[in-house]
A and B are shown apart, each in its own frame.
Chain A
Amino acid sequence: MEEAHPTSTAEVAEVLGDATSRGLTVVARGRGTKQGWGMPPTSADLVVDLSGLARVLDHQAGDLIVDTQAGALLSDVQDVVGTERQRLVLEETVPGTTVGGALATNTSGPQRMFFGTARDLLIGVTVVRADGVVAKAGGRVVKNVAGYDLGKLVIGSYGTLAVITEAVFRLHPLPDVERWVVTPVDGPGRAHELAQAVVHSQAVPWAVEVDLPASGPGTLGVLLGGKAEGVADRAETVRRLLGDAAEVTDTTPPGWAAYPAGPVLLKLTFALSGLRDVLTAAREAGVHVRGSAGAGVVHAAADDAGALDALRAVCARHGGSVVVVDAPDDVKQAVDVWGPVPALDLMRRVKDQFDPEHRLAPGRFVGGI
């Protein structure tokens, strides 16, 4: 296996152009924090290491945007924009991740409930195609409907369509204060009721997180941010909704914005009204669940993939899915990592157009793409 260490989009283009002429299969890598996610590529002749594209290129505070190379650490981006009291609301759910890595795997944290995910924040993208052609889409303004939104296609594509080299994001102001309202919950039923109460309140919650271990009580945590007076009032509203055991705190609760730890990491999605059923199924399967009760996306940590079918059934009943995000190779080989994928035929056609020779991370993505 070869490695390349380009430091610019042009160099990435050169590397991929060269790989094209040599017919090499290629896997892109940032800091390698999620290299094991998805199916293992069936072939990887060349690893393109993007850690040399680590610069935050331009922060326009007045326009609330930042332009960064894909290999930049997410934390570096936050440091740069933080100097102007701004932030990129893309939470670092996997420590040490790069911008490109977060985009390629579409990771998201608690605040997706209010601020959305990468697809809602990315406004411009530069990619290098498998054939070495550099292409960009979007731009440096938040509002822009000129041309196809290629950014959305590459988000969550696990490096199978093109290599992301540069990204422009919209930013948000840093809140003056943040408050968490946290309450213990004894099980799925209570977690569901309280989550629904907060989700449908007018307190403008930024996150509603459930954390339910395999057994025993868990917690429901609600994040509120903004101006001091407003947050205090909203936090009080939420505290009343959550009941006597709820506490208001200004310290981040333990495990906040981190995926639960375990050999097998599953991502479960479902319509909000399915929370109770999903949590109940998780409990029956003995897996630890943590994630956004407000968005209908939680992660589960398990020792093995034994609960996969049962969880898939319940999530599917609520319009969602279960993906095996990370697991030991032998587990991945034994199960259907991605689960049923609608519109797979169209996806294959997209792949065929972007990477007709199937040289980018072959086999890593859905349906063997």
Chain B
Amino acid sequence: MPGMPGVDAVTQRARELIPPEGVITDVARLRTYECDGLSHYRVVPALVVIPEDAAQLAGVVGACAEHGVPFVARGSGTGLSGGALPHAEGVLVVTSKMRTITAVRPDDQRAVVEPGVINLDVTRAATPHGYYYAPDPSSQQICSIGGNVAENSGGAHCLKYGFTTNHVLGAEFVSPQGDVVQLGGIAPDTPGYDLLGAVVGSEGTLGIVTSATVRLVRLPEEVRTILVGFASTDQAGAAVSAIIAAGIVPAAIEMMDALAIEAAEAAVHCNYPDGAGAVLVIELDGAAVEVAAEYDEVERLCNDNGAFEQRLATDPADRALIWKGRKSAFAAVGRISPDYIVQDGVIPRTALPEVLKAIAELSGTSGVRVANVFHAGDGNLHPLVLFDESKDGEAEAAEEVSGAILDLCIEHGGSITGEHGVGMDKARYMPRMYDEADLDTMQLVRCAFDPDGISNPGKVFPTPRLCGEVPGRHKGAHPLQEAGLAEVF
């Protein structure tokens, strides 16, 4: 690319390190990488590299560091916050060729995988040994472990089993200087700071993970998946509260409202109850006798709260179909609306009825339709705000409703993102959730790892911190500051 000597130098280095098909400069090809799963943010990267191993990847990152070229990591490109949005003058480092499952160690309850390995493939590799990988984002059939680590991905079963951060125990990590560093390991509690805890969920702003050691969880003796139909989300929400209050922690409790059900039905014919205003997908797992006891109680609690239909999955295919309806819901909304925004906010579970009512009011007054899909057990909402780009003003109205929903979440003491990440999309909302000191303190971590700010710049934080600016030791304005692009806290 003309006028980007740094990129040229990195390109040359990449060609020395990586086979030709893994170094992409053709503009038509580059453009296919211009967005991730959040396609309304688009930036054509200056260079795409697809390394085959950690050494190649570290070499490219090292070259980026040497020439001050920004880099952005990307796995399968399914992220929903624009976290893998490329940099126009930077390198997109794609891990989709690094997909070796290095080791499956059932005796140690661990697997070691490269970052491009697909989430579901870890479970597929572990299942013959009686194990699985618990975090299950809805995109688990395609999302990569590297992306999961960057985003601290969740999923339906995180209610009981926790998120990616609870299941990644070690990582080989390439720092923004291009150094390969080992964080954590196969054994727990590595001495020193829990840097891995900071890296997981840092959205690629601290470096790139080139290998992850993940926990494998024993397959449960029994799994029961129940599909429950309610007349309203209020009833369904009350049932969720009753189940939690009874001291039951299901593997998952998912809720979908009527509009979301309609979309899922259209897409995958999942055979959800007719006329339901809301459905719950409840999964219980564990030892057989315990699951049976919990099932009886859940069934009773659902009935007490107005369930009009309860269906227990009879076989794995039935169970898969119930889950398919839920897990396809986002993309399925494409069947009932030309465009939509997938929102991701969190509220305390007890605020659910109140917040749902407020969302309905927002929808009513604005005329913007909102379909609701959520992880009801942990208060993680995924309102899908529907609109038609081709109609004047609809996109703006949808954007406004979407933002107002986040405000609702913050008002109720929740979070602006439960699992999709801040990325490009929500950086501007960060100051609503955290004050300047909070954000400044978080960026101390960034400054430790990436003082030059070349690892996925522009994401997560609305304003980059200028590293090395210790209070009382100012040495004059930083160029970024002079240009009005950054400010010192």
Does the CB pair B247–A347 fall under 8 Å? Answer: no
Kindly identify which residue among A140, A145, A338, A352 contacts B448, using a CB–CB cutoff of 8 Å.
A352
> Given A62-B241, A141-B347, A231–B290 Cβ distance below 8 Å?
yes
Known: A149-B197, A226-B290. A366 touches B346 (CB 8 A): no
| B375 interfacial contact with A, CB 8 Å | yes
A202:B219 contact, CB within 8 angstroms: yes
Q: Which residues of B contact A306 (CB under 8 A)?
A: none
Query: Chain A, interface size: which category?
Result: 35 or more
Bound: A123/B221 CA distance, A: 30
CA distance A52 to B214 in the complex (A): 40
Whether B191 contacts A339 by the Cβ 8 Å rule is yes
Q: Could you tell me the distance between the alpha carbons of A203 and B426 in the complex, rounded to whole angstroms? A: 43
What residue of chain B has the Cβ atom nearest to residue A236's Cβ? B289
Q: Are A342 and B287 interface neighbours, CB within 8 A?
A: no
Stretch of A113-121, A215-223, A279-287 that contacts chain B: A113-121
- A141 near B182 with CB under 8 A, answer no
B152 CB–A CB distance under 8 Å? yes
Contact A346 B181, beta carbon cutoff 8 Å = yes
Contacts of A64 in B (CB 8 A): 244
Knowing A143-B375, A272-B107, say if A346 contacts B175 (CB, 8 Å): yes
Give bound CA distance, A95 to B368, whole Å: 56
> With an 8 A cutoff between CB atoms, is B433 at the interface?
yes
Report whether A230 and B289 are in contact in the complex, using a CB–CB cutoff of 8 Å.
yes
B434 CB → nearest A CB, Å: 6
Provide the residues of chain A in CB contact with B422, threshold 8 Å: 145-147
Complex alpha-carbon distance, A267 and B191, angstroms: 10
Contact residues in B for A150 (Cβ distance below 8 Å): 198, 441-442, 445
Distance between Cα atoms of A137 and B433 in the complex (Å) = 10
Segment touching A, from B160-168, B312-320, B388-396: B160-168
- Chain A residues contacting B194 (CB-CB under 8 Å) are 119, 152-153, 155-156
> Do A63 and B247 form a contact, CB below 8 Å, given A343-B195, A346-B448?
no
Which residues between 132 and 188 of chain A lie within 8 Å of chain B, taking CB atoms? 133-137, 139-153, 155-157, 161, 172-176
Q: In the complex, A136 Cα to B442 Cα: how many Å?
A: 9
A202 to B132, CA, bound (A): 13
Contact B460 A143 (CB under 8 A): no
Asked if residues B182 and A139 are in contact (CB atoms below 8 Å), the reply is no
Closest Cβ neighbor of B380 among chain A residues: A143
Partner of A145, one of B130, B151, B188: B151
**Are the CB atoms of B197 and A315 closer together than 8 Å?**
no
Contact, CB under 8 Å: A343 / B183: yes
Given contacts A133-B441, A200-B106, A229-B293, contact A319 B186 (CB under 8 A): yes
- Could you tell me the distance in whole angstroms from the C-beta of A201 to the nearest C-beta in chain B? 8
Closest Cβ of chain A to B36, distance in Å, is: 16
Interface presence of A240 (CB below 8 A): no
Q: Is residue A335 contacting chain B, with contact meaning CB distance below 8 A?
A: no
B293 near A149 with CB under 8 A, answer no
Q: Which chain A positions have C-beta within 8 A of B453? A: none
Question: Within 8 Å of chain B (Cβ to Cβ): is A98?
Answer: no
Q: Is A270 an interface residue (CB 8 A)?
A: yes
Known: A134-B437, A346-B449, A352-B448. A230 touches B293 (CB 8 A): yes
User: Could you tell me if B154 and A269 are in contact, using CB atoms closer than 8 angstroms?
Assistant: no
Instruction: Mark each residue of chain B from 264 to 301: 1 if its CB lies under 8 Å from any CB of chain A, else 0.
Output: 00000000000000000000001111111110000000
**Given A234-B290, A342-B190, A271 and B110 contact (CB-CB distance below 8 Å):** yes
**Contact of A234 with B287 in the complex, beta carbons under 8 Å:** yes
Given A146-B417, A199-B109, A202-B218, do A129 and B187 touch, yes or no (CB 8 Å)?
A: no
Do A141 and B166 contact each other (CB < 8 Å), given the known contacts A119-B194, A150-B445, A233-B290? no
Q: Which of B13-21, B65-73, B408-416 contacts A (4 or more CB under 8 A)?
A: B408-416
In the assembled complex, the CB of B489 is this many whole angstroms from the nearest CB of chain A, namely 9
Contact of A106 among B189, B198, B444 (CB under 8 A): B189
- State whether B105 touches A62 (Cβ < 8 A): no
Query: Is A353 located at the chain interface by the 8 A CB criterion?
Result: yes
**Bound state CA distance, A85 and B421, in angstroms?**
33
List residues of chain A with CB within 8 A of the CB of B486.
none
**B147 in contact (CB, < 8 A):** no
The distance in angstroms between the C-alpha atoms of A59 and B10, with both chains bound, is 54
Q: Which residue of B lies closest to A148 (CB)?
A: B442
Q: Does B257 contact A (CB under 8 A)?
A: no
Q: In the bound complex, do residue A147 and residue B448 qualify as a contact, i.e. CB atoms below 8 Å apart?
A: no
Instruction: Kindly state whether residue B470 has any CB partner on chain A within 8 Å.
Output: yes
Most B Cβ at <10 Å: residue of A144, A203, A315: A144
B251 to chain A, nearest CB (A): 12
A203 to B289, CA, bound (A): 10
Selected contact of A153 from candidates B165, B175, B198, B437, CB within 8 Å = B198
Query: Inside 8 A of A367's CB, which chain B residues have their CB?
Result: 192
Q: Is B439 close to A, CB under 8 A?
A: yes
Contacts of B249 in A (CB 8 A): 172-173
Q: Does A227 contact B (CB under 8 A)?
A: yes
11 A–B contacts from the bound complex (CB under 8 Å)? A85-B247, A106-B189, A133-B440, A137-B442, A139-B433, A149-B201, A227-B290, A237-B287, A272-B108, A318-B187, A342-B181
Top 7 A-B pairs, shortest CB-CB distance:
A230-B290, A152-B197, A320-B187, A173-B247, A135-B441, A319-B186, A233-B289
Add 17 more A-B contacts to A108-B189, A119-B197, A147-B433 (CB < 8 A): A135-B440, A141-B346, A143-B375, A144-B415, A144-B417, A145-B418, A148-B442, A150-B198, A150-B441, A200-B130, A202-B287, A227-B294, A272-B108, A321-B189, A342-B181, A342-B190, A351-B193
